[in-house]
Amino acid sequence: MDRRDFLRAMGLTAAVSGTGALLAACHANEQSGGGALTVSSGGTLYILYDGTSQRLDPAKSQSLAITLSGLIHRRLTAWKTSADGPATVVPDLATDTGRASADGKTWTFTLKDGLKMSDGTPITSAEIKYGVERSFDPAFSGGLGYHKTLLAGGGAYTGPFKGGDLASIETPDAKTIVFHLARPYGDWPWIVSMPAFAPVPKGKGTDANYDSAPVASGPYQLESLTKGVELRLSRNPNWDPKTDVARTGLPDAVVMQLGQDTGVTAQRLLASAGNDAFAFGAAFVNPAQLAQIRTNPAAKNQLVTSESGALAYLALNTRRGPLANVKVRQAFQYAVDKTAFQIASAGSADLAGPIATTLITEGIAGREVFDLYPAPPSGDVAKAKQLLAEAGFPNGIQNLDFPVSTDNNDADKAQAIQAALQRAGIQTKLRPLDEDAWQAVVTGNDDNAYDLTLGSWQPDFPSANSNIQPLFGTSEIGNGGYNQSRYSVPDVDALIAQAQGTIDPAAAGKLWAQTDRRILQDSPVVPLIYTRNSFLHGSKVGDFEIGQFPAYPNYLQIGLAK
């Protein structure tokens, strides 16, 4: 999926304010870590967010496990992130990451002892079951919904208020919860780290007001909410840090300031006056600002940049005209100029992110590095022309329809792609569309609606499954799905199903790497770059680190210096 709408909902969108002149004197320097501050318990952490609302109802949330929702809600499992290796799944409310049956269709979890919610409600299997069941009710839609098709009977279930109990979730006792799946699924331990698996006391959350009054299981509870202005979190007195390996819970309070101008935010954080010294920006820094900020040695400990991130790619409609020919699609691998794309994306190669050659992104366990189409970063025009000739197009290809979103700087990136393709005799016509119209075209049901388009994919959880299946599974073509290349190959679908049903992570990783190679042999997309993200924080914010995955700071670990 193009993650722009998803990231907006999380407060992780790129800043677009033009305040370069005001930042020109800052001369900041990029660094890959959060500095050497010594943090301690106490203080108030401030989050400066350009959006005007946050989804605090776990049934409606699409938040990554390491962002704001994770400070309020615990789940059965959690993510452990590291700059030194891939993200790993760890126990959270559960004692382990789940025990699978021999056929991979039944998963059992045991809860830790003595867990309580902020209102004093004991956290039992019943609260987990009820929380998951709520997410099926249409009134609480919008959250991450992988579990809805994986749980047996989930497709027809309408939630606890109209549909009663979901039989595929069993609670034989207060500490045991058993999930019966419709098919084997090795990534179930990642699925239960998603927001919908947060406990909700029975009888709560019966209407939309739960978004403004959630009962907490994490280190913080909602103290106050001024819509469009601020939400304030205070300590949850019933949170026990001894049971929580994912969260440090160091600050006494967390305040998210809403509706912040991203350009002003950058100035405030660099100045670090007053409370801004204890703040960070939830939006990543845009390239125009970053190019100036990173030249300032005084700010080097306030700027943190990911090593890589979301996959940016060029999708080729495999069901459309000449692009149905695999050799034509392979020609695109050599025709593109990835360096030009980097410059168009962020002004320089190092700011944009490293060149991509695989579909599985960095920081995902099992990823293998390979390049089926070795070429200089600027491309190999002669090789592209050779493949076009072998495909029966010695004079090139004309008039390919190239819809592009007018959001962000996608038009600049598309123009860089267009110019590179033209060198090989591939002529495209750019079709600018607003974001909603573009989404309707590339995720709609008309196979003939376009020839190629730009996409960007941020996996929802740290598994190659989340890289591959949503972009290349036949089930994801049309109907709002993000298989933008309209790619449908039975043996690839079979590989995806086999990898999803493999319980052993190492064995599954090998299958996903095999699938990655198999898909790229057909060249349905051209991997372009792994997009880097940069974030600013105040001078008193420590443990502000971005792991290998995801390319965002881990809110759950941040602490403050005195």
Confidence at residue 122, expressed as pLDDT on a 0 to 100 scale: 98
Closest by alpha carbon to 469, among 78, 190, 196?
190
Query: Residue type for 74, please?
Result: R
Confidence at residue 33, expressed as pLDDT on a 0 to 100 scale: 42
Task: Name the pLDDT band for 395 (thresholds 50, 70, 90).
Answer: very high
Confidence at residue 226, expressed as pLDDT on a 0 to 100 scale: 95
**pLDDT above 90 (res 5):** no
Q: Which two tokens stand for residue 343?
A: 């410059």
Task: Name the pLDDT band for 309 (thresholds 50, 70, 90).
Answer: very high
Confidence at residue 448, expressed as pLDDT on a 0 to 100 scale: 96
For range 197-205, the mean pLDDT: 96
Confidence at residue 297, expressed as pLDDT on a 0 to 100 scale: 80
- Residue indicated by tokens 């006792």: 173
Q: In the chain, how long is the greatest CA-to-CA distance?
A: 73
**pLDDT above 90 (res 23):** no
Confidence at residue 466, expressed as pLDDT on a 0 to 100 scale: 96
Across 153-157, 305-309, 370-374, least confident range: 305-309
Confidence at residue 370, expressed as pLDDT on a 0 to 100 scale: 98
Q: Is 534 helix (H, G, I), strand (E, B) or coil?
A: strand
For range 285-297, the mean pLDDT: 79
For range 63-91, the mean pLDDT: 95
Distance CA 543, CA 554 (A): 9
- Count of all residues that appear for the chain in the document: 562
Q: Which two tokens stand for residue 78?
A: 């959690």
Task: Name the pLDDT band for 136 (thresholds 50, 70, 90).
Answer: very high
Task: Name the pLDDT band for 7 (thresholds 50, 70, 90).
Answer: very low
Confidence at residue 247, expressed as pLDDT on a 0 to 100 scale: 98
Across 13-17, 77-81, 100-104, 252-256, least confident range: 13-17
Structural domains for the chain: 17-51+259-306+534-560 (no CATH), 311-530 (3.10.105.10)
Distance CA 218, CA 552 (A): 20
Contact (Cβ atoms closer than 8 angstroms) between residue 213 and residue 222? yes
Quote the percentage of the chain above a pLDDT of 70.
94
Which residues, in sequence order, are CB contacts of 243 under 8 Å at separation 6+?
112, 114, 115
For range 454-466, the mean pLDDT: 95
Q: What is the pLDDT of residues 205-234, one digit of tens each?
A: 998 889 999 999 999 999 999 999 999 999
**pLDDT above 60 (res 9):** no
What residue spans of 347-481 are helical by DSSP H?
Answer: 349-352, 381-390, 410-423, 435-442, 464-472
Query: Which of the two residues, 212 and 20, has the higher pLDDT score?
Result: 212
Closest by alpha carbon to 66, among 556, 541, 462?
556
Confidence at residue 405, expressed as pLDDT on a 0 to 100 scale: 95
Confidence at residue 18, expressed as pLDDT on a 0 to 100 scale: 28
**pLDDT above 50 (res 485):** yes
Contact (Cβ atoms closer than 8 angstroms) between residue 109 and residue 175? no
Task: Name the pLDDT band for 107 (thresholds 50, 70, 90).
Answer: very high
Average pLDDT value for the chain: 92
Q: What is the pLDDT of residues 497-527, one digit of tens each?
A: 999 999 999 999 999 999 999 999 999 999 9
Q: How distant, in Å, are the alpha carbons of 55, 275, 327 from that of 148?
A: 19, 42, 39
Q: What is the pLDDT of residues 520-535, one digit of tens each?
A: 999 999 999 999 999 9
Task: Name the pLDDT band for 32 (thresholds 50, 70, 90).
Answer: very low
Contact (Cβ atoms closer than 8 angstroms) between residue 360 and residue 516? yes
For range 397-406, the mean pLDDT: 96
Confidence at residue 29, expressed as pLDDT on a 0 to 100 scale: 28
Distance CA 121, CA 111 (A): 14
Task: Name the pLDDT band for 391 (thresholds 50, 70, 90).
Answer: very high
- The DSSP 8-state label assigned to residue 51 in this structure reads S
